Structure 1
Amino acid sequence: MALSPKLDLRQTQSLVMTPLLMQSIRLLQLNHIELEQFIEQEIEKNPLLERLDASDDTILFGGVHSEHRSDSDQDLRSDSSADRVLSDDADSLWLNSGETTSSSAMSDTFDSSLENIFPDDPGSRDFIASDLASQWKSSAGDGYVSSGGENYNLEQVTAAPLNMQEHIREQIIFAFEKAEDRMIAAELADQVDEIGYFRGDIAELAIRIGSSVEHLEKLLFVLQGFEPAGLFARDLAECLRLQLRARKRLSPAMDILLQNLELLAKRDFHSLKKLCRLGDTEIIDMLREIQLLDPKPGTAFSSGIADSIIPDVQVDQAPDGSWRIELNSETLPRVLINNNYYATIMRAKTSPDEKTFLGECMHNANWLIRSLDQRAQTILKVATEIVRQQEQFLLQGVAYLKPLNLRNVADAIGMHESTVSRVTTNKYMLTKRGVFELRYFFNAAIAASEGAEQHSSQSVRHQIKILIDAESPDSILSDDTIVEMLKEQNIDIARRTVAKYREAMNIASSVQRRREKKAEASATKSNVRSGFIAPPRVGLLAVGK
């Protein structure tokens, strides 16, 4: 059989992920901060996109509602819901070839001094006194500084936050007289980790720099007196000891207690009383004092800034009992397409490449607008279904939170589970019970006994915490007892699941709780007999973890 070329026509189906489709999917999982950054990048790349000022309330993007539209806004395109028509005056200004090109006019146009845009050309500069010019780091040294306007306020310039290493170096300068000691102290400071603990090896460091271990220990002792107290500690016990020493509260009994933190973590007060030769009242008082200390003093210099949570959805109850669900207008991007600029440039004498570029920009801009609108509608649709499913939680609290998974919501709104998963990532809902991440409403189902309705894992955790908080020192609930009590409430759960939930809520075991509450009860009785009223109890922390 001879081989010969031929044409073969076949019809196949395939799913192709185009870049625009991938962009639309990506927009679903972005939170409002990431979305703002993405839109800023698109505006820089696309000349047809522009942002609507926050003061302009003619359009609220997202398809939720519109405020008021003037007569000049009636020709806005319906497919993009955000196209803006420029006036004829703006066209004449844009195409005006007789525009002033003076340095002052250009500086006002670019919102910057001319030397920042064209460094080789002279520009307007503000004069400052010669005695301040040498102290001004941004000054060129000739008594001038770049234009900042007449309202420039030096007090508004903030300094960079002081980190832990800089704070230590400042104290080293005043703590040691000899330059050699300062150099060794700086070397010791380099061995401090981010939480303030010294992780170096004194013996190895002494050999490396040619000094004695005794001398390095003396220098480390001085460094351990730096602020904040607890820096340069080698373990948790030493960190707590340094803080108590700074407060002048390091007694021999307290030192013995710090040497036995394992017993304190287990709440073995019986052994601690023998070691410290103290009663329940003194042991409890020392425990409360330890709980007020900072086990990680270096974290005070952490430069990380926690972003404030801005809810994406607002849920309110209407007077008739229904739920009013709206998107937060602060998180909705206000993006417009400049159709008039596109039409003006396309009518002008432009090259085919330029017209192709503008055509691609218009296509990308329209796709971005539609993707943002689809994102807003999808978030609103998912939030509406969540409110419908979890209505009893909004009315009565976490005990009535129902089990819910992504498939339930996806089937109800006719979308894929992956879409619901992307929508609920880093999105928050504002309700009368607080701000919750959309993921909070999705909980695993806990089986119910006797054919009753299933319970959510979050409501079961809440019920376990209520039972433990209500226990008395004489009747501490074990995990098996909690299982039996939950079965009386038609909650069928295993003992290991109760233990897992209890540990996740940082609740001690029944043995530790029994020891602690008995010691507190004994201390309270002693205080009552002596006429002393104990101060309010501070929340217990897990010591040694």
Structure 2
Amino acid sequence: MALESRLELKLQQKLVLTPQLQMAIKLLQMPQLELSQTLTQELVENPFLEELTEVSSKEEMTKEERESSEPDESAQRDDSEIPLEKLMAFSSAEDYFDERSYDGRDLGYFTPDNVTQPSFEYFLSTSADLFDHLIWQLRLSREEENVRTVGEIIIGNIDENGYLKMTNEEIAEVANTDTETAERAVRLVQSFDPPGIAARDIKECLQLQLKTLRLEGTLVETLVAKNLDMLGKRKYPQLAKLYNVPIDDIMAAVKIIEGLDPKPGSNFSSSAVNYITPDVYIIKTDNGYQIVLNDEGLPRLRISSYYQRLLSQKNAIPKEDRQFLEDKLRSAIWLMKSLDQRNKTIYRVTECILNFQRDFFDKGVNFLKPLNLKDIASELGLHESTISRVTSNKYLSCPRGIYGFRFFFSNAIPSDSGEISATTVKQMVKKIIAEEDSSKPLSDMSIVDIFKSQNINIARRTIAKYREELKIPSQSQRKR
């Protein structure tokens, strides 16, 4: 077969994700906080983007509107303003400020040389974390220097819940000392506040707290040391029989144990609490429901008129700079179009969810209907992946609370009266268990029978699955 060179013309269709399309997809799935950070970054990088503020809105007003809205300058002038002639007559700056402070208005611009102003750091309020709290107690202790040095290593290896994650041998190896010194340092740190600190496990943590309460050698300490598993399973009659004591004594000991803190270090946690910011508000009005997109915290963008004028001048800037500005202009326009498309898509999806789940908004969670992404996609003429991006990591606020968009999507469970939402079944399981007799808790099979009496067919393993998702203990653990 001979080799030859030739030109061929082919026609083919290909779907390519351009950078602009990738940006639109990325913006669509961003939650509120991440979108705000992205827009702020775009404001820094793109000169064509400006944040629209009240001041910039006022600059766009006509001359007559500005003159009518601005107050009279003579009315704003301070009566105490010193004329220019009198200002020139002052021989020094000290004379000027002496004149200004004659009526008691000391501006505080000058300070005598012998007075030192305090640092602004002294005015900052900070709460001590667990490490600082323990180090402070360690420095007040009267132990030997080598023990306190090992104590610092121990404190540095205590986790946020207050547990020590090192053995005595590991401590001795890191501190280059013997295990006896390491043990002394551990006992020293365990004597600090909060009680139970630097324990290796939950049992030791509770025992240290009982030691602080001077309950060593009592029934409470015995139950913690030997029967913690039985306490977790609430086998109180068996414990009373085992130790030959009245069950009231067991219950009194249990009450003391329940008052102990299994995570003594959590009260010193400095982690910030992140609150949910809803992306959409559904407000109930006299005429029905109103959908409002949340734009709080998002910068309002506009195209810079200055760079538009600069780009319109043909010979004002070099060719390379013009190319750069043209690229940034296209990027800015596409960003604003993508934001507008994002808002419209979220609004349409929210409106569709409102129509599908109208009974939920009117009557409550028991009236939630089965719904999947395909139903919304078919209704709006969009792809399921688009609906998935819209509903991912986004929240909706309505008169019944704040819910994630995915809350409104659930599988269908058959019943004699029709299909019922799995979310509704979970709420029914939660309600049934909340109303049960704590001395005779219901088994999963008993809950299945209750559903069958309501013409809802559901398997026992499904009840167990929903109970675990709701973080509800098993029958034996709920017994009191």
Structure 1 residue 456 and structure 2 residue 421: aligned? yes
Change (3 A) 1:51 1:453: same
**Counterpart mapping for 1:293-312 below 5 A:** 293-312=260-279
C-alpha displacement of 1:164: 2.9
Report the equivalent of 1:272: 239
CA distance in 1, matches of 2:358, 2:407: 14
- The separation in 2 between residues aligned to 1:318 and 1:370, in whole angstroms, is 31
RMSD: 2.8
CA contact (8 A) 1:48 1:337 kept: yes
Residues 346, 355 of structure 1: 8 Å contact kept:
no
Determine if the alignment matches structure 1 residue 8 to structure 2 residue 8.
yes
Q: CA deviation at 1:228?
A: 1.8
Flag the 1:415–1:291 CA change in 2: closer, same or farther, 3 A.
Answer: farther
User: Which residues of 2 match residues 323-472 of structure 1 at below 5 A?
Assistant: 323-330=289-296, 332-347=298-313, 349-448=316-415, 450=416, 452-472=417-437
Could you report, residue by residue, the CA deviation over 1:240-268 in whole angstroms, capped at 9, with x for unpaired residues?
22233334455611101212110011111
Q: Does 1:482 align with 2:447?
A: yes
Partners of 1:342 and 1:358 within 8 A in 2: no
Aligned to 1:24: 24
Indicate yes or no: 2:245 matched with 1:245. no
Cα distance in 1 for partners of 2:9, 2:56 equals 56
Whether the aligned pair in 1 keeps the contact of 2:278 and 2:402 (CA below 8 Å) is: yes
Structure 1 residue identity aligned to 2:291: I
1:276 offset after TM fit, Å?
Answer: 4.8
Contact 2:196 2:208 in 1 (8 A): yes
Question: What 5-or-longer segments of structure 1 have no aligned partner?
Answer: 59-68, 73-125, 137-152, 517-545
Query: CA distance change for structure 1 residues 391 and 332 in 2, over 3 Å: closer, same or farther?
Result: farther
CA spacing shift, 1:40–1:206, aligned 2, 3 Å: closer
* Residue number among 486, 498, 501 corresponding to 2:463 in the alignment: 498
TM-score between the two structures when normalised by the length of structure 2: 0.82
Q: CA 1:445/1:269 → structure 2, altered by over 3 Å: closer, same or farther?
A: same
How far did residue 388 of structure 1 move? 1.1
Aligned equivalent of 1:107: none
Q: Which residue matches 2:100?
A: none
Aligned to 1:256: 222
CA distance in 1 between counterparts of 2:121 and 2:171 reads 45
Distance, in Å, in 2 between the alignment partners of 1:411 and 1:500 is 31
Which of 509, 533, 542 is the matching residue for 2:474?
Answer: 509
Shift of 1:390: 1.2
- Between the aligned partners of 1:176 and 1:54, the Cα distance in structure 2 is 62
The one-letter code of the counterpart of 2:468 is E
Letter in 2 for 1:40: T
Identity of aligned residues (%): 36
**1:511/1:179 CA distance change after superposition, 3 Å:** closer
Q: For 2:427 and 2:396, how far apart are their aligned partners in 1?
A: 21
Where 1:329 maps in the other structure, the secondary structure is coil
Q: Match for residue 221 of structure 1?
A: 187
5+ residue gaps, structure 2, are 64-108
Task: Report SS of the residue matched to 1:39.
Answer: helix
Q: Hey, what's the Cα distance between the residues in 2 that align with 1:185 and 1:135?
A: 34
Q: Secondary structure, in 3 states, of the residue corresponding to 2:281?
A: strand
CA contact (8 A) 1:316 1:431 kept: yes
Matched residue count = 432
Q: CA deviation at 1:432?
A: 0.7
Q: Is the 8 A contact 2:220 2:257 kept in 1?
A: no
Is the Cα–Cα contact under 8 Å of residues 196 and 296 in structure 1 kept in the other structure?
yes
Amino acid corresponding to residue 346 of structure 2 in structure 1 = I
Q: Deviation of residue 364 (structure 1)?
A: 0.6
Determine if contact 2:397/2:403 at 8 Å carries over to the other structure: yes
Give the Cα separation in 1 of the matches to 2:332 and 2:366.
47
